[in-house]
A and B are shown apart, each in its own frame.
Chain A
Amino acid sequence: MNCADLKVQFDAYLEGHADDASRRAVEEHLAACPDCYELLLSSDDELDSLLRSDWYSEAPSARFLHGVMMRVEKPAGFAPVLWLLPIWLLYTAMAAGLSLWIVVGNSILGVSLADLMSFIRSSRAVAMSLAQALRFLDINEAAVFMLFALSAASLAVIGHLGKEVLSWGKD
């Protein structure tokens, strides 16, 4: 099919009256011929110019600009300290701390992991808060450092408590 053939068959194609062979031929030509495609797309000047305007623009909230500048001007913070730590140690400590919190929550408070996951899934607000918290951790090394310290402290406290419990049996 050439460009002239396309113009003859295109109306039937658009109206859904074209047979399978003609439909395939039109689609193959449109896929292979950028000129025909552009011509057809821009044949309606009024709609095309409207679509190329900023119809999608929408003013964000008043705090938007401030939020962007905060994110690009983040302080160096604890980064030099953080980079001295092996990354595997950081993640291991965080995972261990989280696991221990879940185990303690389960055994003492009766909160199972399934309950926790169900709660998170059921609450979009909580999910959004978590996403924001993760983003905050991603951009703020000080927060990551604090979480690491908190996880390490949890390990130490639980280890100490475990030692005490074991020592009771000996007394």
Chain B
Amino acid sequence: MRDCELVMLCQKGQNTPFSTLVERHQSSVFGVALQILKSKEEAEDIAQEAFVRVYQKIRDGGTIDFLPYARKVAGNLALDRLRRQGMALRYLEQQASSPPSSYAETPEEAAMRNHDQLVLRRLIDELPQMYREVIVMHYAGGFSYEEIADKLGQPLSLVKNRLFRGKKLLKESYITEGVESV
């Protein structure tokens, strides 16, 4: 059954379809929060809260595209938590440590993940924070350039510039990685 059909069943008062939706998309929504917060415990809390907000939205009769909406809610909540708890310093420190140890995968988990995605994730973790944050917000959180500029309090042109330069750095690292692994 498709997401939109499950959402319609939720609007009629059923909880089981919502459980199916959470089970289907929990990795993506949790992953967005984890990329921003870098702590499994906090990311789980935020991702759960995001699903609760999505549930309330559905129950209020809102029409949503489930996964993009849930990802954006999780991204917003994670950024709000960072801001509220004044954890910017911790965030920056974590950017410097590579790879982040707080969510290191087990060998079994790593084996199941696509190799290219694993490399990409590590290279994104190694990017300078100003490039990393816009890439995570845009590609994982699904935020538009305008929304990122608004959230960071930066000009739109600067956000676009950082996104482009971040991708350029990623590409260069990716090429280097390929050469080294040969």
Chain A interfacial positions (CB closer than 8 Å to B): 14, 27-28, 30-31, 37, 40-41, 44, 47-48, 50-61, 64-65, 67-69, 71-73, 128, 131-132, 135
**Could you say which of A30, A52, A64, A131 contacts B161, with CB atoms under 8 Å apart?**
A30
Q: Quick check: is B131 within 8 A (CB to CB) of the other chain? A: no
| A58 in contact with B31 given A64-B26, A65-B23, A68-B48 (CB within 8 Å) | yes
B163 near A: Cβ within 8 Å? yes
A61 to B140, CA, bound (A): 20
B residues contacting A by CB (< 8 A) are 15, 18-19, 22-23, 26-28, 30-32, 34-35, 40-45, 47-49, 51-52, 55, 103, 105, 109, 114, 116-117, 120-121, 124, 135-136, 139-140, 155-157, 160-161, 163-165, 167-168, 170-171, 174
Do the beta carbons of A65 and B26 come within 8 Å of each other? Answer: yes
> A37 near B160 (CB under 8 angstroms)?
yes
Query: Do most interface residues of chain A lie in helix, strand or loop, or is the interface mixed?
Result: helix
Q: Chain B: interface secondary structure?
A: helix
A51 to B139, CA, bound (A): 6
Contact B120 A28 (CB under 8 A): no
Known: A52-B139, A56-B28, A60-B27. A68 touches B52 (CB 8 A): yes
25 pairs from A and B in contact (CB 8 Å cutoff): A28-B157, A30-B164, A37-B160, A40-B164, A51-B120, A51-B135, A53-B114, A54-B117, A55-B117, A56-B32, A56-B121, A56-B140, A58-B34, A59-B109, A60-B27, A60-B30, A60-B44, A60-B47, A64-B26, A65-B26, A68-B22, A68-B51, A71-B52, A72-B18, A131-B45
Cβ-closest 8 pairs across A and B? A31-B157, A56-B31, A56-B140, A55-B117, A60-B30, A57-B27, A57-B31, A58-B31
Query: Chain A residues with Cβ under 8 A from B52's Cβ?
Result: 68, 71-72
A28, A47, A58, A132: the one contacting B174 at CB < 8 Å is A47
Chain B residues whose CB sits within 8 angstroms of the CB of A56 once the complex forms: 28, 31-32, 34-35, 121, 136, 139-140
Closest to A59 in B: B27
Q: Are B28 and A64 in contact (CB-based, < 8 A)?
A: no
**Contact partners of B34 in chain A: CB under 8 A:** 56, 58
CA distance A135 to B124 in the complex (A): 32
Closest-by-CB residue of B relative to A32 is: B157
Separation of A22 and B170 alpha carbons in the complex (Å): 25
Query: Does the CB pair A72–B15 fall under 8 Å?
Result: yes
Between A44, A51, A57, A61, the greatest number of chain B beta carbons within 10 A of the residue's beta carbon is seen for A57
Q: Are B136 and A67 in contact (CB under 8 A)?
A: no
In angstroms, Cα B78 to Cα A129, docked, is: 18
Tell me whether A50 and B116 are in contact (CB under 8 A).
yes
